[in-house]
Structure 1
């Protein structure tokens, strides 16, 4: 995959051709998407696939159940519900992504980050084959009827619905805020000069910013761009991070996510930040960078996050470590198992 071009060119698609999408193509893309996500663990996730007319009709009905059953349902014209139903039915394929929840917030976040990252990989890989997608998590579809249709079980979490098809035309790009405007550097200006240690040159603030300016082309509802970046490579800040991480890494990048009071927006924003991080990792891998991603336990402590400038209603979504001598090798991890059920 040409990560740089594909990340910038991918668009959210809402109008699709009627051309069917082969199930074999979907399975192949899912396997590739899973292999591109690097992690120490083996997160459990699965997909429910809808491609037949009958299954898409059933899915469309479940997506409208909450709206129809609401106290306002009887006031909604049939023409309106028929229009939304027809839209969902005419899209050639849908994939519902489900991941395991967990007893701890950290493990739950790791599982959710994994499935969101795989969904982003899947969108990028599909785009290169002419497939467009819509990542759908609207609260209006969240109902007992919908969850029963996708077979959501106790101990599971719905991550999103990807509507899939060959796109009619590519929408115009929407501008992203430059990463420089969401960037903070801490720890002092003691980054080594070229003649002192050439091995760590790729991880300079400027080179990381250049890569972030591509990674920010991540899907996010309403273009809220709920992220910012805190960089540390020297001084007390980097020393403290090395201690917290148990690491000797050259430089660190904290990916900070905004936390809305609305829980649904909060979840959507976390998915967007996970997609941005995955974009960054794909770009880093293409450039042969040594980057390691963690969601460490200490990031759930407000007291430990405050020294790095983390504000109220923010959280650290991930810590990225840079350097040749990274203590663990994520490349040796086992790709998440692909489990697809056809409805």
Structure 2
């Protein structure tokens, strides 16, 4: 990515696209590059379906509006409105549906979902640099059992969202983001925080977070909170085997709403923020490692870090003092072109 900071700040959600076609080869290239930029422990598993032909978009449109037509609301809507929705889907040059594959444990399921959400953010940023706008779409009115059956969503898999993709002519105005300082706390000894040798000081971390908060979210919800952890007594609870106990960590927390759909949206938004932070940190002289440790599923452990009711830890970022090769495995791309002839119920 040429200018990460600029892409993060300038990217906007686009809802109106031009008629200029989007080539499948370009989409595949975007996906591969986006996957290569994702760095975390473990090997996440995900796949996606591409709708880039008139026939596949027609099938997608029919599946998306099927439930609307059958609902009480749909019966009250004029045919023109459902026709407009169908036309909108058909006229958008390309659609990609992203799916996190199933896993045996909650931790593995979270790893897969976090990965696919982060990769979707990478796709948006890389596409923006090429003049491609996108809309991350998850509306439960349209994404339902009828559509999931059509695309062959398998047992245990998790729908992450659909990106509508196309070139555009007008860039929407920016909307303000809340400074990271307003969602920030510190655990640790003050005398260790301001050392001139501390390249991963709270000030440097906050600087990146204030850029990273330009992450996609619905309705301008900002469902994140940050806990900077330093000092032996605090960091020892987080350190990996053999790591220095004085290594600072950033615990990234998501608020949890009662609505499961909004929970998923907020979790995805926090994953995008973390991905932004990781991309920005590549220009810094310190090592960053993204972790989903087993202890985050222990209520007692989480409570000791001040995690409140209806909150959950999304990731722990280990902030080392020197630049090292990330301990990561690139996320493979499982890309499939959708067509009516495909049997997706295998």
TM over 0.5: yes
Matches within 5 A, 1:54-93: 54-93=55-94
**Deviation at 1:168?**
1.8
Whether 2:251 is the aligned partner of 1:254: answer yes
**Deviation at 1:154?**
2.0
Match of residue 334 from structure 1: 329
Match of residue 186 from structure 1: 187
Q: 1:334 to 1:131 in 2, by over 3 A?
A: same
Query: Among 230, 233, 237, which residue is 2:230 paired with?
Result: 233
RMSD value, Cα: 1.7
- Bigger drift between 21-30 and 232-241 goes to 232-241
Tell me the distance in 2 between the aligned counterparts of 1:184 and 1:205. Answer: 10
Tell me the distance in 2 between the aligned counterparts of 1:158 and 1:295. Answer: 20
Whether contact under 8 Å (1:292, 1:330) holds in the other structure is: no
**Deviation at 1:153?**
1.7
Whether contact under 8 Å (2:235, 2:249) holds in the other structure is: yes
After superposition, give the CA deviation of every residue in 1:232-265 in whole Å (9 maximum; x if it has no partner).
11252223333x7763262011001001111000
Match of residue 141 from structure 1: 142
Whether 2:158 is the aligned partner of 1:157: answer yes
**Deviation at 1:334?**
2.9
Whether contact under 8 Å (1:245, 1:296) holds in the other structure is: no
**Deviation at 1:193?**
4.9
Whether contact under 8 Å (1:218, 1:276) holds in the other structure is: yes
Whether contact under 8 Å (1:40, 1:330) holds in the other structure is: no
Match of residue 213 from structure 1: 210
Matches within 5 A, 1:1-343: 1=1, 2-191=3-192, 193-194=194-195, 198=197, 201-242=198-239, 247-248=243-244, 250-324=247-321, 331-343=326-338
**Deviation at 1:106?**
1.1
Whether contact under 8 Å (1:39, 1:330) holds in the other structure is: no
Tell me the distance in 2 between the aligned counterparts of 1:238 and 1:14. Answer: 44
Whether contact under 8 Å (2:41, 2:290) holds in the other structure is: no
* Structure 1 portions without partners, runs of 5+: none
Tell me the distance in 2 between the aligned counterparts of 1:319 and 1:246. Answer: 17
Tell me the distance in 1 between the aligned counterparts of 2:158 and 2:185. Answer: 34
Tell me the distance in 2 between the aligned counterparts of 1:62 and 1:139. Answer: 13
Q: 1:75 to 1:210 in 2, by over 3 A?
A: same
- Count of residues in Structure 1 that have an aligned counterpart in Structure 2: 336
**Deviation at 1:285?**
1.0
> Normalized per residue, which structure has more helix?
1
Tell me the distance in 1 between the aligned counterparts of 2:156 and 2:304. Answer: 35
Tell me the distance in 1 between the aligned counterparts of 2:183 and 2:224. Answer: 7
Match of residue 343 from structure 2: none
**Deviation at 1:76?**
1.5
Tell me the distance in 2 between the aligned counterparts of 1:251 and 1:309. Answer: 17
**Deviation at 1:307?**
1.4
- TM-score normalised to the size of structure 2? 0.93
Whether contact under 8 Å (2:199, 2:285) holds in the other structure is: no
Tell me the distance in 1 between the aligned counterparts of 2:275 and 2:325. Answer: 14
Tell me the distance in 2 between the aligned counterparts of 1:31 and 1:286. Answer: 22
Match of residue 344 from structure 2: none
